[in-house]
């Protein structure tokens, strides 16, 4: 039932999503579906929680490149679920938004850990938050598409990754290029 709901929610507007269609396509009776989920919103919340847990569980890896590979595995194997998590219309529900945000924060913390940063500054957290937003935007375009190879997506995302070294070099380059106003 959850997988059917993920596919339906990932392919059609939320307004068109119906419990009857989930029951029909999953081969479950309507009463059985309502036994597990008392409302359409409860089913949607269960779907988001399921997909968020699947995504978060997929990135449990010792090294960042492997964690990113696992993330891309999820995107490839769950394109409907990925679009569902990051597509927007479900975010109007506070519980759904909280679940998605908790998953994103968990992923960001994993990235910071993989970068070997023990005490991240606010600037580091913002840089990683921006990078995860970039990852989401790229993967939303790529999910379910055959136009770009996976290895190209992986390389693109790794190259865009903020690192403490990059941040330091950018800061020193900016300082060197900026004239001193007190002179």
* pLDDT exceeds 60 at position 3: yes
In the block, tokens 């865009």 appear at 160
Cβ atoms 107, 132 nearer than 8 A:
yes
Q: Which residues contact 6 (CB under 8 A, 6 or more apart)?
A: 47, 50, 51, 78, 80, 81, 84
Write down the pLDDT at residue 85.
85
Between CA 64 and CA 135 the distance in angstroms is: 14
Where does the pLDDT of residue 173 fall: very low under 50, low under 70, confident under 90, or very high at 90 and above?
A: very low
Q: Which sign, positive or negative, has the C-alpha torsion 33, 102, 6, 45? A: positive
Question: Is residue 157 classed as helix, strand or coil in its secondary structure?
Answer: helix
Cα gap 155→140, rounded to integer Å: 16
The mean pLDDT value for 33-59 works out to: 90
What tokens were used for 145?
């598409």
Q: What is the pTM of this model?
A: 0.78
Query: Tens digit of pLDDT for each residue in 76-129?
Result: 988 888 888 887 777 778 998 999 999 999 999 988 988 888 899 999 999 999
pLDDT-above-90 percentage for the chain: 42
């Amino acid at each position: 039932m959850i997988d059917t709901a993920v596919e339906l929610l990932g392919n059609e507007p939320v307004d068109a999503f119906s419990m009857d269609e989930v029951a029909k396509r999953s081969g479950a009776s309507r009463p059985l579906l309502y036994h597990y989920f008392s409302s359409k919103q409860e089913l949607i919340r269960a779907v988001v929680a399921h997909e968020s847990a699947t995504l978060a569980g997929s990135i449990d890896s010792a090294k960042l490149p492997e964690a990113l590979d696992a993330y891309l595995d999820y995107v490839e194997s769950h394109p409907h679920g990925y679009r569902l998590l990051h597509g927007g219309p479900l975010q109007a529900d506070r519980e759904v938004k909280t679940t998605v945000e908790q998953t994103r924060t968990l992923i960001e913390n994993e990235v910071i850990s993989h970068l070997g940063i023990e005490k991240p500054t606010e600037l580091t957290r913002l840089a990683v938050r921006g990078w995860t937003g970039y990852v989401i935007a790229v993967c939303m375009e790529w999910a379910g598409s055959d136009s770009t190879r996976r290895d190209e997506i992986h390389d693109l995302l790794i190259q865009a990754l903020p690192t403490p070294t990059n941040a330091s070099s950018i800061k020193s380059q900016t300082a060197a290029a900026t004239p001193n106003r007190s002179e």
